[in-house]
Structure 1
């Protein structure tokens, strides 16, 4: 049975308090497993306004109705309103996810700060940010996190090496390259290890292999504009050929306004024969397999502005054990 891994990013204060409990209820209804990755520090979502000069930003905003999905109050955090400390104020919501039987892990300390700055920052800054999130997670859950999923699919070499120091065996920090339609550009894309500073890391990367809803909504593909009524069918078309996939969703989107679309996807994936699982389940399936050892690559994806960590094509003889 192919695995459809559900990776849930909780980026904001509102998403953690409202979207996360909604997703727990929906996943429980369909007996689906998933991994929830939490932002554990302050919510500076309002700082996203600095992205107005990034190519493609306005186009994405107009397509995905950012104000509607995130809320005007959230877009003011760190600008006109104080930035709430998510880990301090939402610990009970996070613990409820664990108590409901779902895997929990680290997304970041401060989503906006990490996404905007980590690629340019040095090792000391990076290690401090990651240690803060690691310590806060341990404080909330009473045990260290086993996994990680980078905010905005942004990392740097120190960040990947820090995962090794934390003893994390698996993480989902990057993407698989996609075509304009959302199909995999490399059919062999999937779990791999990274080569960083001349060393192959032990931590297995479980890249996102499907487009996200916000990357597809409002775009015209094959002459059809994707909207809430047809986008689930488009994604299900991408998964009709059985193979393991990782799908990233957001507590602020699928946990709120886009929940009906996600429910259609859950129903469709069940009908296609997928086992809906958490990251730890995919890791258990691949941990003893020979996996490609790949260099760090940055690239863009259709429907999303800016570069992000991308799975590099495998070279002959690149597999590690």
Structure 2
């Protein structure tokens, strides 16, 4: 069978402190590798409440029990409580994941700020945000980050170019069907994008009666062939309340014969001469509100 690259987005302080160690234990039991992508600056999760007026946001919130998964305190960060500095407060938990043998990389500096603004921002703002995350990563880990996975699959052309400037060989910043080199102004960049290919738990829960007891089966229906996939999970969801469902999914993938790998493993197995080029594009994904980076037809 194929490879399933496990990409873990860590959005919050609580997710870093609680969800990340839980996931590491589950992955270890399943003999699975994975890539943890950390938010490295302030936790302003409460700012996300401003999205309440966006089409589809309330519907998603009602399906995924945001308060249950994130907790009242986290939802107050940036609103009634100051946003804690995740990279300062949870550096030891981040290093513990690296020391346990898992790949680590950058998710973002300020998750909500990036998610809600990057599409319309200029090069100066974009590079400043990315540089803050890069410097903090190097401070925490004592080494440069190997990869990047954008918050909310939100990017702009300057962000894609910055990944090349850093010399990263691969990143996972959007949704799609398979590896490609993104193009800016018609010119392909050097790094390879490894887009998320499978729906996430929060996009599927509550749709057509799918609940925590059946969601693993739904995902397993999509991985019965021998193709490669990238699955994005969240420390705040699969690392906490949805942990039993994720463990069932891991066991199911093992039973199907898939290799459970990190992003670096997936990239290392590619024939880079066959990776196509594709323009940067925006589009909608079922179960998620708003537009995000998607993979258009190859050039």
C-alpha separation between the residues in 2 aligned to 1:159 and 1:54?
24
Residues 204-238 of structure 1, C-alpha deviations (whole Å, 9 max, x = no match): 00000000000000011xxxx10011111111011
Q: What SS does the corresponding residue of 1:289 show, helix, strand or coil? A: helix
Structure 2 residue aligned with 1:291: 275
Q: Taking structure 1 as reference, are residues 23 and 202 closer, same or farther at Cα in structure 2, changes over 3 Å only?
A: same
Structure 2 residue aligned with 1:85: 85
Q: Which runs of 5+ in 2 are unaligned?
A: none
The answer (yes or no) to whether the contact 2:186–2:279 under 8 Å persists in 1 is no
CA displacement at 1:74 relative to structure 2:
0.4
The answer (yes or no) to whether the contact 2:5–2:262 under 8 Å persists in 1 is yes
RMSD, aligned CA = 0.7
C-alpha separation between the residues in 1 aligned to 2:96 and 2:213?
32
Alignment of 1:221-236 (within 5 A): 225-236=209-220
Structure 1 residue aligned with 2:201: 213
CA displacement at 1:287 relative to structure 2:
4.9
Is 1:301 the counterpart of 2:285 in the alignment? yes
- Name which of 224, 243, 252 aligns with 1:268: 252
Compare the two structures and name the one with the higher helix fraction.
2
The answer (yes or no) to whether the contact 2:15–2:239 under 8 Å persists in 1 is yes
Q: Taking structure 1 as reference, are residues 218 and 140 closer, same or farther at Cα in structure 2, changes over 3 Å only?
A: same
Is 1:2 the counterpart of 2:6 in the alignment? no
Residues 112-143 of structure 1, C-alpha deviations (whole Å, 9 max, x = no match): 00000000111000000000000000000000
Alignment of 1:32-51 (within 5 A): 32-51=32-51
Alignment of 1:53-132 (within 5 A): 53-132=53-132
Q: What SS does the corresponding residue of 2:226 show, helix, strand or coil? A: coil
CA displacement at 1:50 relative to structure 2:
0.6
TM-score, normalized by length of structure 1?
0.92
C-alpha separation between the residues in 2 aligned to 1:287 and 1:199?
20
Alignment of 1:183-202 (within 5 A): 189-202=177-190
Dislocated runs of 4+, deviation >6 Å: none
Q: What SS does the corresponding residue of 1:309 show, helix, strand or coil? A: strand
Structure 1 residue aligned with 2:223: 239
